[in-house]
Chains A and B, each alone.
Chain A
Amino acid sequence: MEQNQSGPGGFDRDRLQNPQTWRRSRSDRWVAGVCGGIGRALNIDPVLIRVVMAVLILSGPGIIFYIAAWAMMPDEGSDRSAAQNLLGDRIRPDHPWLWPVVIGACVFAAIAMMSSFDFGRFVPGPLIVLAVIWVVAKQRKNGGIGRGRRNQYMGGPNANWSGQGTDWTGRPQDTPPGQQATSAYAPSQNDPSAPPAGPSSSATQRPQDRTVEPVQPVWTEDDPLGLYVDEPAGTTPPVSTRPAGPPAKGMRGIKSIVVVLTGLAIGIAALAGASTATMLVIGLATLGAGMLLGGFVGRTLALLPLGILLAAGAVASTVFPNVPRNFADTNYVAPIGQTITATGTSYQFDAGSVHLDLTKAKFGPGAKVDVHGGAGEVIVKVPPNVDVTGNLSAEMGDVAFLDQHQGGHNAELNLNDLGTDGKAGPQQVTLDLDVRLGSIKVERG
């Protein structure tokens, strides 16, 4: 597999200013080839892009960025994006305002998601999932049309790179009917006085007149790598010879059917009031069943990225039932003599860490420390002689208190320790610490 690496030239600043030239990679893709394509376009390691994208997705807005890039970036070897397939040529990929508007909308949505604004009510998760599935379904549907265009290119009498009548940018191309069209890169043959194209005519031309030799592509196989095999016109079989057709691919449209069924399943689950995680798992089960059964009559492996996306969404929605907005990085050291009371020492966070050093604090009657977190780490240090009671729990992760340790799913520890003096009093504190995913550690200072 070809891996993008930062070349000697390093980061390509010029390509950054022309995102309309970016293409999704087909040789270096995990999901849709967005990160591989961006890495290739900017001449930087796609692993770096993936790490940044993973952080953005886990924190919320990345999914918007990814979907937007997926919709806007054409696949490698193609000049039509998913958005163009969906909306037709109403979208011009070379429009100077297109990408700034898209990026601006994504940044606005990201800020809205991560702020305290209740954005979730306006864009619920199921709606996003259904929209994605609908886009994919439409893209699959239009893919048939695209294949028709590809066939037209591969062997049709008026074939060109992007279908009859259009050039690379989708603008109309003036090609007189009945005239042999060549690659869009080839010189125009509109002049009636110009010699006809082909090897015989090229022999009559001066060598300096021949800029590009017309080629006649031939369908050779199902083009699994998305690379069209071009052969010189001289090797083209006669018209009477039927060119080799693509290998049988089984039932057509099976993937679209499966995607639509998956969307229906998620929609029904949403109407039934299921939680987001349950909806996504139901969608995943439907998609998997469709892939399993559909695999016997057609090709369904291409749906795997959608399955991975649903599974990742199910995991994320389980860890974060709501859009994570509260990110904590608390490192609190209680000053000498500060009194911890029954209230006032409570922390809640969606992701991050809370470190509390209470070794120099005093503990009033009924002193209590509450920390409730989503994903992250909690460390609490208490004085040696303070009695500690309470509970540590993690849905998935580790909990530890002195030499006691629990790990895995639903890890839990009940605390009842009298301290190093082994006697009750004079101070005591109740710890109630829990996280969904992560670790909790209680130490004595």
Chain B
Amino acid sequence: MSRQPRKTGPTRPDVPGVVAGAVLTGAATIWMLTENGVLQTDDLGVTSALLLVTAGVLGLAASRRG
């Protein structure tokens, strides 16, 4: 079975950038939701863990795309 050559070039994603962007966006979103009472401070641990998992999944998706 022949393997498809990896797609490289201009559209190759910047995986660390994607992960860092996801973490920053998620942190800011959690902050705003907590400030406005949508999230409780007791849920910060769970939401932070979910954020890291989401960032990891996005990073994996980006690496697969590249």
Residues of A within 8 A of B (CB): 248-251, 278, 281-282, 284-285, 287-301, 303-304, 307, 311, 314, 408-410
Chain A residue contacts of B8, Cβ below 8 A: 248
Contact: B21 with A294, CB < 8 Å? Answer: yes
Our pick among B13, B14, B28, B62 for the contact of A285 (Cβ within 8 Å) is B28
Chain A residue contacts of B12, Cβ below 8 A: 248, 250
Chain A residue contacts of B58, Cβ below 8 A: 292
- Given the complex of chains A and B, what is the CA–CA distance between A375 and B20 in angstroms? 29
Give A284's nearest chain B residue, CB to CB: B28
Contact: B14 with A292, CB < 8 Å? Answer: no
- Given the complex of chains A and B, what is the CA–CA distance between A307 and B21 in angstroms? 9
- Given the complex of chains A and B, what is the CA–CA distance between A284 and B12 in angstroms? 25
- Given the complex of chains A and B, what is the CA–CA distance between A300 and B15 in angstroms? 9
Q: Give min CB distance, B57 to chain A, whole Å.
A: 12
Contact: A301 with B17, CB < 8 Å? Answer: yes
Give B26's nearest chain A residue, CB to CB: A288
Chain A residue contacts of B14, Cβ below 8 A: 250, 294-296, 298-301
Contact: B41 with A410, CB < 8 Å? Answer: yes
Q: Give min CB distance, B17 to chain A, whole Å.
A: 4
Q: Give min CB distance, A272 to chain B, whole Å.
A: 14
Chain B residue contacts of A281, Cβ below 8 A: 28, 31-32, 35
Contact: B41 with A295, CB < 8 Å? Answer: no
- Given the complex of chains A and B, what is the CA–CA distance between A296 and B58 in angstroms? 11
Q: Is B52 an interface residue (CB 8 A)?
A: no
Q: Given A300-B17, A301-B17, are A295 and B62 neighbors across the interface (CB < 8 Å)?
A: yes
CB proximity to A under 8 Å, residues B1-53: 8-18, 20-29, 31-32, 35, 41, 44
Our pick among B13, B26, B32, B35 for the contact of A295 (Cβ within 8 Å) is B13
Give A302's nearest chain B residue, CB to CB: B17
Q: Give min CB distance, A246 to chain B, whole Å.
A: 12
Contact: B18 with A296, CB < 8 Å? Answer: yes
Contact: B21 with A295, CB < 8 Å? Answer: yes
Give B65's nearest chain A residue, CB to CB: A296
Known pairs A288-B26, A297-B10, A408-B41 / 16 extra A-B pairs, C-beta < 8 Å? A250-B14, A278-B35, A282-B32, A288-B21, A291-B20, A292-B17, A292-B18, A293-B21, A294-B21, A295-B15, A295-B21, A299-B17, A300-B21, A307-B24, A311-B27, A409-B44
